[in-house]
């Protein structure tokens, strides 16, 4: 335990931030660990031991600093009905390191049965909802503890050959190389196990891919123990954290290839970085013409939406004084200039703001967002927009969006619901200055093309509602779900009661549009919309009139009018 003003056994000078407070302890115990283990329980199955799990007679668990395994889990104890014992600690960590983990005991087939995850208290951020990056780090470290690693007690060198129940040679797991570039080329070690390689080939659209590239930088504990950052970017198992980490089918496939687990691929999260970009995306360096233009950049601090429009982002370049790009990873005439994430081979990447993920409701700024019609929500995406902004200011915002067909997206900006087939520009929003542009047709297809089905919306009652909320609304259509978002123009409708898949009721909430803007919005019929959790959507034009306040008119008191009349009479006499 870290004591204020002292040193812990890792020789880190402690400050008050390093102390495990009650709130930080509760955050680990009641939020991070339950959420992380619940996800992994849904994603992986394992052949359970017969009876209770006991872990031997040695009571020491050592990853970096030793922990004592409680006696009830040893051979002399009662054991526990579990597949793995997770020991959680909170010792200080250096710098910005949030957590580390690894297995300290394995069974006869080298499957981890005891693992330690340690959280650095100074880097914990207890908040509701939980920070996706922080939860992602917890899951990431637990996956290391399950065997996704090239170092430690178990891992790639100890994978099980199910046909013989013997350990596979590491060369059958990390048995390929991937070369990048035709000049000044460099190579990655790569995973070539059956399921992981098949999933990677399908994801990238590269049937000739020899192996799944592993990180080659970062030193012991990072190199060869993570996916290559350059081509996996925000995948959970890269070597640096992301604002919106995703568990891909490729990671679940590798865990299945270990021989210790069976993966539930339905638990994989949507991962779109590099999807369908072909072999050139992996084989070529990240330069214009070889890589998509919205992945890379050339001018520092220029803001834009990220590669899949899930977040507000910025070009981040660094002029390195040391440790900069080697000759085979240089992209600028200045040899010291490179992308801010060195693990991505110094590629000049567009990097998401930590508070820029549009689906993260913790990013809501209730004081400012309404003046730009900005909405952070489950359904929000990044859109090029100058709505509510002065010329030259930031030109990207998060707006709610869904797919009304395989080739059509809808976007809510204030009171308006715009329809996008791709590339429409100069669209406006009632009451706001500025305009916004639809994403490209390529993005619409990528976002909407694989949607299996779409709801419909055929009627809304009543046909006139107030901005102030509190009214009951009945919806008619098809494909309704309890998790759908409902809005009539700028008015959200919450507390949804699903009467059937064709009928639902909800209660309107007060509009968040500022009164100064609402006063300039005409009282006219507005489009209603529903968006389901899978982003499929339906709209109904002219569904209901949204009654907005009339522009304020100041009336002078009667006494003032009398005084003004007397003054005019006096002036008339003076100039008669």
DSSP collapsed to 3 states, 66-134: EEECCHHHCCCCCCECCCCEEEEECCCCCCCCCEEEEEEEECCCCCEEEEEEEECHHHCCCCCCCCHHH
Residues 6+ apart with CB under 8 A from 462: 471, 473, 544
Q: Is domain 16-146 annotated with CATH 3.10.170.20?
A: yes
What burial letters (b/e) apply to 391-401, b meaning 16+ CB within 10 Å? eeeebbbbbbb
Q: What angle do CA 333, 335, 340 make, to 5 degrees?
A: 105
Determine the Cα–Cα distance for residues 193 and 479; give it in Å rounded to an integer.
Answer: 41
Determine the Cα–Cα distance for residues 403 and 449; give it in Å rounded to an integer.
Answer: 9
What burial letters (b/e) apply to 499-517, b meaning 16+ CB within 10 Å? eeeeebbbbbbebbbeeeb
For residue 225, the Cα-to-chain-centroid distance in whole angstroms is 22
Residues 6+ apart with CB under 8 A from 536: 402, 403, 451, 452, 453, 454, 455, 479
Q: What are phi and psi of 441, to 5 degrees?
A: -60, -35
Q: 262-263 and 44-45: which strand pairing?
A: antiparallel
Tens digits of per-residue pLDDT, 175-196? Answer: 999 999 989 999 999 999 999 9
Q: What is the CATH number of domain 456-547?
A: 2.60.40.10
CA Rg, the chain, in Å?
Answer: 29
Tens digits of per-residue pLDDT, 310-355? Answer: 999 999 999 999 999 999 999 999 999 999 999 999 999 999 999 9
CA atoms in the 13 A half-sphere facing the CB of 414 = 27
Tens digits of per-residue pLDDT, 378-435? Answer: 999 999 999 997 766 779 999 999 999 999 999 999 999 999 999 999 999 999 999 9
Determine the Cα–Cα distance for residues 545 and 430; give it in Å rounded to an integer.
Answer: 14
pLDDT of residue 364 exceeding 90? yes
Both tokens assigned to 549: 């306040």
DSSP secondary-structure letter at 135?
H
pLDDT greater at residue 102 or residue 562:
102
On whether 203 is known to bind a ligand per the annotation, the reply is no
On whether 226 is known to bind a ligand per the annotation, the reply is yes
Position 1 scores a pLDDT of 41
- Output the pTM of the full model: 0.90
On whether 144 is known to bind a ligand per the annotation, the reply is yes
Which residues in the chain are classed under CATH 3.10.170.20? 16-146
The residues assigned a catalytic role are 141
Which residues in the chain are classed under CATH 2.60.40.10? 456-547
Position 573 scores a pLDDT of 33
pLDDT of residue 12 exceeding 80? no
Angle between helices 33-43 and 132-145 (to 10 degrees): 60
Tens digits of per-residue pLDDT, 237-246? Answer: 999 999 999 9
């Amino acid at each position: 335990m870290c004591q204020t003003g002292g040193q812990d056994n890792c020789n880190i000078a402690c400050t008050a931030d390093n102390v495990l407070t009650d709130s930080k302890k509760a955050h680990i115990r009641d939020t991070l660990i339950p959420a992380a283990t619940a996800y992994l329980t849904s994603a992986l199955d394992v052949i359970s031991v017969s009876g209770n799990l006991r872990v031997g007679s040695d009571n020491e668990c050592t990853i970096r600093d030793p922990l004592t395994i409680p006696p009830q889990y040893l051979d002399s104890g009662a054991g526990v009905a579990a597949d793995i014992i997770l020991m959680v600690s909170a010792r200080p960590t250096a710098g910005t390191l949030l957590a580390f983990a690894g297995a300290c005991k394995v069974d006869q087939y080298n499957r981890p049965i005891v693992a330690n995850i340690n959280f650095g208290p100074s880097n914990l951020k207890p908040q509701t909802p939980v920070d996706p990056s922080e939860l992602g780090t917890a899951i990431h470290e637990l996956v290391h503890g399950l065997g996704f690693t090239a170092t430690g007690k178990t891992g790639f060198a100890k994978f099980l050959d199910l046909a013989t129940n013997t350990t596979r040679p590491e060369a059958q797991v990390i048995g390929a190389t991937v070369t990048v570039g035709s000049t000044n080329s460099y190579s990655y070690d790569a995973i070539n196990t059956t399921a992981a390689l098949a999933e990677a080939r399908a994801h990238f659209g590269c049937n000739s891919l020899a192996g799944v590239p592993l990180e080659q930088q970062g030193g012991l504990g990072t190199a060869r123990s993570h996916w290559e950052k350059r081509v996996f970017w925000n995948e959970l198992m890269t070597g640096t954290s992301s604002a919106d980490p995703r568990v891909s089918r490729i990671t679940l496939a590798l865990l299945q290839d270990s021989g210790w687990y069976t993966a539930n691929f339905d638990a994989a999260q949507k991962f779109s970085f590099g999807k369908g970009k072909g072999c050139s995306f992996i084989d070529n360096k990240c330069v214009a013409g070889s890589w998509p233009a919205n992945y890379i950049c050339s001018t520092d601090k220029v803001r834009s939406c990220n590669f899949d429009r899930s977040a507000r982002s910025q070009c981040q370049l660094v002029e390195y004084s040391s440790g900069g790009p080697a000759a085979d990873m240089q992209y600028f005439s200045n040899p010291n200039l490179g992308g801010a994430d060195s693990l991505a081979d110094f590629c000049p990447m567009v990097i998401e703001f930590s508070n820029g993920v549009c689906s993260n409701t913790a990013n809501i700024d209730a004081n400012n967002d309404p003046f730009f019609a900005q909405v952070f929500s489950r359904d929000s995406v990044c859109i090029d927009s100058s709505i509510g902004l002065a010329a030259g200011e930031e030109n990207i915002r998060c707006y709610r969006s869904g797919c009304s067909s395989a080739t059509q997206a809808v976007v809510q900006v204030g009171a308006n619901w715009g329809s996008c087939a791709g590339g429409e520009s100069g669209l406006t929003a009632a009451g706001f200055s500025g305009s916004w542009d639809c994403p490209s047709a390529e993005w619409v297809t990528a976002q909407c093309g694989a949607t299996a089905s779409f709801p419909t919306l055929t009627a809304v009652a009543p046909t006139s509602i107030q901005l102030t909320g509190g009214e009951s609304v009945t919806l008619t259509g098809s494909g309704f779900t309890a998790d759908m978002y409902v809005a009539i123009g700028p008015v959200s409708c919450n507390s949804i009661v699903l009467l059937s898949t064709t009928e639902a009721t909800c209660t309107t909430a007060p509009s968040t549009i500022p009164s100064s803007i609402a006063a300039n919005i005409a009282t006219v019929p507005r489009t209603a919309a529903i968006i389901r959790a899978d982003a499929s959507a339906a709209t109904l034009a002219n569904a209901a009139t949204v009654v907005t306040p009339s522009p304020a008119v100041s009336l002078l008191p009667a006494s003032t009018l009398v005084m003004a009349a007397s003054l005019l009479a006096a002036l008339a006499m003076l100039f008669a």
